[in-house]
Amino acid sequence: MTQAQLTIDLDAIAANWRALARLSGAAEAGAVVKANAYGLGAGRVAARLQAEGAFSFFVAEAQEGVALRAAVGPTADIYVFTGHMAGDTAAIEGAGLIPLLNSPEQVARHRAALPGHVFGVQLDTGMNRLGMEEADWRAVAPELLALAPKLVMSHLACADEPGHAMNGQQLAAFRRMTDRTGLRRSLSATGGILLGAEYHFDLTRPGIGSYGGQPFAEARPVVHLSLPVVQTRTVDAGETVGYGNTWTAPHAARIATVSAGYADGLLRALTGHGRLYCGDTPCPLVGRVSMDLMGVDVTHLPEAPETLDILCPAQGVDRLAEAAGTIGYEILTSLGGRYARTYTGTDA
C-alpha cells in the first residue's frame, strides 16, 4: 500500500443521523453539511441522508449551497448560515438557496436583489457571532413577518455543557423574540438536541453527532484512517528522531516512518502526545510531526508493521483531538486531500 487509506462509513453516518432524528422527537431533523460535510464529502453524505429522510440541509456559504444543489436535486431545502452577502445573489437565485438573513443590511439587500425569493432569519441570542440583535429584529419583524420567512433560527454557544447557564438564557431570549410569531423555529445543533424537548422547536440541525463526534457520546464511529509505513529502522540509545532532535531514544528502539503528516491534517500539535495503533496496541509518535511524515516507536510490536492506524476503533476522532489539544470537529475538517478515500455502506 502506497497511499494512506481513509474509509468513511456512510451506514454509520446514517445510523447516527437517524438516532439524532429520533432524539429530536416531534421536530424535523435537518442535516448540517457545511465544510464539505465536516470534511467527509458533502455530496455523498447529503445524498445518503436524503435517502434516510433528511429534507432540510444547512451550509455555511452560498457556494457550498450551489455544489450541494447538484447532489440533492431540486426539492431539498438548502439554508445558508451566512445569509445573503454581497455577491451571493446569483448563487442564491440560481441554486434556489434559502439565505438566513443576519442583519437589517442583509434584509435590505435580499429584498432589493431578489424580491419574493424565499428566506429565513437568523437571530443572535447571545453568542454574538451571527444573527440579528434583538433590537434590530424588533424593528424589522413587523415588515418581515408579512413576507412569511420560511424559518427563524438561532445557535447555542454552550450546548455541549448541559449545566451551563447560557443554555437557559439563550432559550429564554429565543422564545422572547419568536413566541407568538407563528414562524417555524430552529435552535439546536447536536448539543441542543441532547438538552431535551424544550430546545427542539420545529427543526433541529445536527452536524457533528452524525459524523461520529462528541457531544453525541452514543455515536457510531464513522472514519478509519490507515497510514502506510515507508521504512523501519533501528536506532541506538542516544540517537535522535526528526526535526529539532526533540526525541532521543532512551534505549535501542525500532522506529517506523509513516507516510502522512501535518499537510494531511495530522496536526503538528500531536508532537509528543499522539499515538498510532497496530490493532489495539498503541505505538507512540516520536519526534516532531513533519509535513508528510511521522516517526512511530514500534519496538514493542512482534514484527515491523506495514501500516499503522491513527483513526480506528481504539482511537476515535475525539481521542485523537484530545492528544492534539483540539476538538473532533477540527480533526475531521482537517483531513487531507492526499488520502485514498473509500466509502463503505450503501450509497443513496
Amino acid letter for position 348: A
| Catalytic residue chosen out of the listed positions 79, 150, 199, 243 | 243
Nearest CB to ligand PLP, comparing residues 107 and 189: 189
The rounded Cα 47 to chain-centroid distance in angstroms is 17
Using the rule CB under 6 A, is 343 a contact of ligand PLP? no
Amino acid letter for position 40: L
Nearest CB to ligand PLP, comparing residues 120 and 274: 120
Smallest CA-to-CA distance from 309 within 331, 278, 272 is with: 278
CA distance 184 to 239: 65
Binding to ligand PLP (CB under 6 A): which residues in 135-174?
155
Counting Cα atoms < 13 Å in the Cβ hemisphere of 145 gives 13
Pick from 45, 76, 107, 189: which binds ligand PLP (CB under 6 A)?
189
Question: What are the φ and ψ backbone dihedral angles of 159, each rounded to 5 degrees?
Answer: -65, -20
Q: Which of the ranges 45-53, 189-197, 228-236, 330-338 carries the binding residues for ligand PLP, by CB under 6 A?
A: 189-197
Q: Which of the ranges 167-175, 201-209, 265-273, 313-321 carries the binding residues for ligand PLP, by CB under 6 A?
A: 201-209
CB 198 within 8 A of CB 149: no
- Is-catalytic flag, 243? yes
Query: Which cell goes with 126?
Result: 447571545
Residue at shortest CB range from ligand PLP: 207
Using the rule CB under 6 A, is 257 a contact of ligand PLP? no
- Find out whether 291 is annotated in a ligand binding site: yes
- Cα distances (Å, whole numbers) of residue 247 to 40, 276, 296: 34, 17, 11
- Find out whether 109 is annotated in a ligand binding site: no
Q: Which of the ranges 169-177, 186-194, 273-281, 283-291 carries the binding residues for ligand PLP, by CB under 6 A?
A: 186-194
Question: What are the φ and ψ backbone dihedral angles of 173, each rounded to 5 degrees?
Answer: -65, -40
- Is-catalytic flag, 34? yes
Nearest CB to ligand PLP, comparing residues 185 and 205: 205
DSSP 134: H
Radius of gyration for the chain, computed over Cα atoms and rounded to the nearest angstrom:
23
Pick from 82, 125, 190, 259: which binds ligand PLP (CB under 6 A)?
190
Report, in Å, the least distance between residue 218 CB and ligand PLP. Answer: 14
Q: Which of the ranges 61-69, 110-118, 188-196, 276-284 carries the binding residues for ligand PLP, by CB under 6 A?
A: 188-196
- Cα distances (Å, whole numbers) of residue 58 to 82, 198, 287, 288, 343: 10, 22, 40, 38, 22
Pattern 34-53, ligand PLP, x by CB under 6 A: x-------------------
The rounded Cα 186 to chain-centroid distance in angstroms is 18
Using the rule CB under 6 A, is 207 a contact of ligand PLP? yes
Instruction: Enumerate the known binding-site residues.
Output: 129, 291
List residues binding ligand PLP (CB under 6 A): 32, 34, 81, 155, 189-191, 205-209
